[in-house]
Amino acid sequence: MAHVSDLIASDIESYLRKHEEKSLLRFITCGSVDDGKSTLIGRLLYDSKMIFEDQLAALEADSKKVGTQGGNIDFALLVDGLSAEREQGITIDVAYRFFSTDKRKFIVADTPGHEQYTRNMITGASTADLAVILIDARKGVLTQTRRHSFLVKLVGIRRVVLAVNKMDLVDWSQERFDEIVADYTAFATSIGISEFVAIPISGLQGDNIAAKGQASPWYHGPILLPYLETVELDADRLQAGPLRLPVQWVSRPNLDFRGFAGQIARGTVRPGDAVRVLPSGRTSTVARIVAFDGDLNEAVAGQSVTLTLSDEIDCSRGDVIAAAADPPEAADQFETTLVWMADEPLLPGRPYWLKIGAKTVGASVTEIKHKINVNTLEHLAAKDLALNEIAVVNISLDQAVAFEAYEASADLGGFILIDRISNATAGAGMIHFALRRAHNIHRQALDVTPQSRAAAKGQKPAVLWFTGLSGAGKSTIANAVERQLHAAGKHTYILDGDNVRHGLNRDLGFTDADRVENIRRVAEVAALMADAGLIVLVSFISPFRAERRMARERVPDGQFFEIFVDTPLEVAEARDVKGLYKKARAGELKHFTGIDSPYEAPENAEVRIVPGQSADEAAAEIIKRLGL
């Protein structure tokens, strides 16, 4: 006879096995402040009668304090707990709740309702299959309702539930419900939400959440929790598409095995299927599908597998294995929608890392086409983006990547921008399409190489980048360096900040955005001149480390030398050769470096020049230390 503990263990194993096999629905709750998101989540957890162990233990402990028995969770206590978390600011970082019914598992993201937490709303929505948008029946469609609906559409959530809450406070008026649904329908249609399910509910009383309420005999539509249990998942749709597998890892434990591991983003794959690797375009066929439990005859979207190919072709982390007959595009310039998530503003031309799937490439925003007022949907002109702002922008990459429009594939159309210095996530974006220029512009092969140009001049090309405050002595020292190099028979050219602003950069001002573009253009010209075999001397304040790093990356290793003319502010201001500091102090000159605009000093300059040397002495030291 089996011991009772064995029977209990068997029951637990059976439950866990059944639980593991359930499908998973990720959804978000959103809407205006005090529309009842916490109350609704509390009711869902209460009515589901299934809460993960960590939550269940804590809630059961609390339930004993209020006298409930048998593990029944006091609903008011649960709602109070969720509200207390909101007051403590926990939901600012997106609070995730886990629960389960007999039919499905759920992860719900309780996203904050305040406008300043747009980035948190985007974070919670980025992996959701469905959005529950709450409306207070007394207040109707509000600005925040429209805002969150726009963001839901923006991140590609296809299924929307309009939960008209607090119907008990309007006496379950069918006329009021129909009025709200009509108002929301008009707005939803204007932003491209073609269909949604509207349900009248009472989060506090539980009507139409787990079961039909008696107070709304006129309502004959779906009930919320049963609808969530049966709604079609995106995974079902993705399995029907063409194969897309972003390669996350190349596995080669021995010489006889070379596999490409990743999670299938779209489609189905079988041994023998013809595939194409992007962006290279090389083709092969699938030899094996290797999983944890052994080889598979088929794998579908959502599964993590390792594919082996019949041919030894070049395929690396970040590449995409796709159906040979229906591959995605590859390009290096895109129109995108970008949500800015950093405290420091986005400046066009500034270099960032862009991560799409498992691939990371260099990127910069080349144009802000317009900023979007998410409250009014108005398109606004902009030169930069601040925290939580959203814009349509053009982005340029330093190499082509495989992609699809975000609406077709979040995996191949969604990306993040990463700050190159802090490595923090700076923005999240959605690709619309490749710019036509990405397909029409190709590099021309040239017979005369940079090496042959340099050899003809008998010198090593170099970019000497002089940086420092206005009045530090950059131009004077750069001029002395060029004079000595010219006397030694070297081929040189000076790009001086003031001189360049009379021609190439005459259209630029002195805002942070214009300063970034100023340096971007000069860095490109300096790189071309170095490619021609010249020693290029660049004398610009260039106040930001990010742009100086970008200039360094534009030339081959060993050709860029940062020279920091480290003159203290008080010394430079005392010189004030051009009278600029005086104007800046008087408020007549805005965005002046060192006064009302920052200067980020180099951290690892090749040469640092301090006051006390003449220009010729500093020049001789630079030439000697750099071996020119």
**What is the token pair recorded at 518?**
């100023």
Residue 58 CB partners (closer than 8 Å, separation 6+): none
Report the alpha-carbon distance of residue 334 to residue 435 in Å, rounded: 5
Is residue 542 flagged as an active site residue?
yes
Could you give the 3-state DSSP secondary structure of residue 44? helix
Residue with tokens 């339930």: 63
- Find, among 609, 576, 571, 608, the residue nearest to 592 by Cα: 576
* Pairing state between β 535-539 and 560-565: unpaired
Report the alpha-carbon distance of residue 323 to residue 275 in Å, rounded: 5
**What is the token pair recorded at 283?**
């083709």
Beta bridge partners of 30: 133
Whole-number Cα distances in Å, 245 to 201, 222, 239: 41, 36, 12
Q: Which of 38, 48, 470, 542 is catalytic?
A: 542
Report the alpha-carbon distance of residue 121 to residue 162 in Å, rounded: 17
Report the alpha-carbon distance of residue 168 to residue 540 in Å, rounded: 67
| CA max distance for the chain | 103
DSSP tally for the chain: helices H, then strands E: 19, 28
Could you give the 3-state DSSP secondary structure of residue 261? strand
- Find, among 562, 560, 554, the residue nearest to 601 by Cα: 562
Report the alpha-carbon distance of residue 628 to residue 622 in Å, rounded: 9
Backbone angles phi, psi at 64, to 5 degrees: -65, -30
**What is the token pair recorded at 597?**
């605009």
Say how many residues make up the chain: 628
Report the alpha-carbon distance of residue 351 to residue 360 in Å, rounded: 13
Q: Do 137 and 166 touch, CB atoms closer than 8 A?
A: yes
- Find, among 256, 253, 264, 405, the residue nearest to 321 by Cα: 264
Could you give the 3-state DSSP secondary structure of residue 98? strand
Q: Do 29 and 40 touch, CB atoms closer than 8 A?
A: yes
Q: DSSP class of residue 208?
A: T
Report the alpha-carbon distance of residue 163 to residue 31 in Å, rounded: 10
Catalytic residues: 542
